[in-house]
Chain A
């Protein structure tokens, strides 16, 4: 290497260093909504610097092909950045698949370029990279398919499922070990990839819609770790740092999600988070419930001082968030203090509910996390539950036989009046009966969430309908 080239290399490495620092600032500024948009700019500048630095790389001869690929990627990227807010979870899953696809392809190409002259350690890291990458590609595609409802959302379980999965993974590990001992065995490499791809599919098959927040976070972590492994293989410090940041982000979110669903961390790590199965819900006979009309609900709400709205994914499915915003406006105008209680797993991915409510122009300082708002329910006049079920189920506190026993819930039953908007008395997605509906202080508001909230707003004399 000549001195001139070495000088160029220093410039490239310095650009990568600046990009790394900008990436860290980018995440740091995400700590608050007031600074978060600076974070995007920092990330974008870092990205542009890193790509420019890479184009300075002295070995590059074919700029045309790179240009075509960058343009093509941009053409695909714009519509993916433009999806509806309800579709953000499946978009995120899809982008995990794309990221992992990139990592897996680069890893595979590097293997064929370097084999058999790969050191043992490098081969081990490369195997980790493509196995993690491969399973993330198909796993994320499966998750995206389930979220988009192309694939059935019901968990698919069969006997010995875990055994089959672990046997497959063991097969991939055996091939990896063989390759570490003999990196020249090129014919084995495609089998390792195929097994990883198959494993990704089987990993997601037994997972139901309610577990998607955990799954997406976990796949995010896998994608990050595989990118960090790629950084080791390529000797790229920037990639190691970006992968470590992404991996730790995914891991932290997985831990938060699993805690919010009362599942142990090891349970999450090994992906053994099958749907909780219950049968006793169907055995419950019709117990008496009290119901109310929009007029009655409006009268109770307008007489209240403090109201807490508890939104769930059902609210987004019914597209009711804009009507909820009108209700918020109408009540606030009458001097009622309205806040929103956000359970960590409300929605289909971490933080999803906040985005859906922010889109409906509800100020973010009215969106309160579970731990912070739970103490306020006893002083609350009305808790209005819209499209949420399990996260309000008091059986999680009191009934040790309940499948969700121990899961942290929003203590809506402690408020003076609970109003639940629900289509019918059918148990929710998980099939767990909710004793909340039979309490003396609970009023059931039967109907479509959007229409019912609209009805309340009309009674209150607000809204545009």
Chain B
């Protein structure tokens, strides 16, 4: 895991993911910037996988305790984040039944 070629691979993934992120997020309608932030927050809580491994492997008391708190914090972000994003998006209604998306103002 610590070899330098793996680190370079990881850097490649990071840089390419940043490009995808910029291109995708740039197209998000400003209308939805608040739900976007709560959604990315929930997705970011995928850090829970690292915490789960720490708790599960139980290599030391410290790592298990830190991992436990980390799992609780991240899980509350996942649950709360998806929940509130859904509540917000449910509220966005169009005045016309078959309205064209208001997002074309940002789509290039």
Contact = CB atoms under 8 A, between A and B. Distances in A.
A32 B29 contact: yes
Mostly, the B contact residues are: helix
Contact of A91 (B47, B60, B80): B80
Interface stretch (A35-43, A379-387, A446-454): A35-43
A19 B48 contact: no
Contacts of B77: 77, 95, 98-99, 102
Chain B contact residues (Cβ within 8 angstroms of A): what range? 35 or more
A65 B68 contact: yes
Contact of A73 (B21, B32, B59, B73): B73
A150 interface: no
Contacts of B73: 73, 98-99, 101-102, 105
A238 B18 contact: no
Given A59-B53, A77-B83, A101-B70, A354 B21 contact: no
A11 interface: no
Contacts of A252: 22, 25-26
B93 A51 contact: no
B40 to A, nearest CB: 5
A78 B80 CA distance: 5
Given A69-B71, A92-B41, A81 B79 contact: yes
Given A32-B29, A40-B39, A355-B35, A101 B69 contact: yes
Given A43-B42, A60-B53, A101-B73, A81 B81 contact: yes
Contacts of B26: 252
A360 to B, nearest CB: 9
Nearest to A118: B2
Interface in B1-58: 1-2, 4, 6-7, 10, 13-14, 17-18, 20-22, 24-58
Contacts of A65: 55-56, 58, 64, 68
A62 B103 contact: no
Interface in A249-282: 249-250, 252-253, 256
A246 B84 contact: no
B34 A355 contact: yes
Interface string A236-248: 1111111111111
Contacts of A80: 76, 79-80, 84
Contact of A112 (B20, B45, B60, B101): B60
Interface in A47-62: 47, 50-51, 53-55, 57, 59-62
Nearest to B49: A54
B82 to A, nearest CB: 6
Nearest to A39: B39
B74 A73 contact: yes
Contact of A66 (B17, B18, B56): B56
Contact of B59 (A35, A91, A113): A113
A372 B31 CA distance: 13
Given A24-B24, A216-B37, A220-B40, A363 B30 contact: no
Nearest to B63: A109
Contact of A363 (B62, B87, B95): B95
B24 A28 contact: yes
A308 interface: no
A364 B18 contact: no
Instruction: Give chain A's interface residue range (CB within 8 Å of chain B).
Output: 35 or more
Given A61-B58, A240-B10, A367-B102, A51 B52 contact: yes
B28 A27 contact: yes
A368 B34 CA distance: 16
Interface in A91-115: 91-92, 95-96, 98-99, 101-103, 105-106, 108-110, 112-113
A351 B49 contact: no
A18 interface: no
Most chain B CB within 10 A, of A28, A36, A82, A108, is at A36
A217 interface: yes
Interface string A200-237: 00000000000000001100100110011011101111
Contact of A247 (B21, B59, B106): B21
A49 to B, nearest CB: 11
A217 B106 CA distance: 19
A57 B39 CA distance: 26
Given A77-B78, A235-B10, A365-B102, A54 B41 contact: no
Nearest to A25: B24
B64 to A, nearest CB: 7
17 contacts: A27-B40, A34-B94, A40-B39, A61-B58, A65-B58, A69-B55, A77-B79, A92-B38, A99-B41, A99-B47, A220-B37, A227-B47, A235-B6, A248-B25, A361-B91, A363-B93, A366-B95
Given A81-B84, A364-B102, 20 more contacts: A27-B40, A30-B39, A47-B78, A54-B49, A55-B52, A57-B52, A59-B57, A66-B56, A68-B68, A77-B79, A82-B83, A99-B77, A103-B47, A109-B66, A235-B1, A241-B13, A245-B17, A250-B40, A354-B33, A361-B91
| Ranked 10 nearest A-B pairs via Cβ | A73-B75, A81-B83, A77-B79, A351-B33, A60-B56, A248-B21, A363-B95, A80-B80, A244-B17, A69-B71
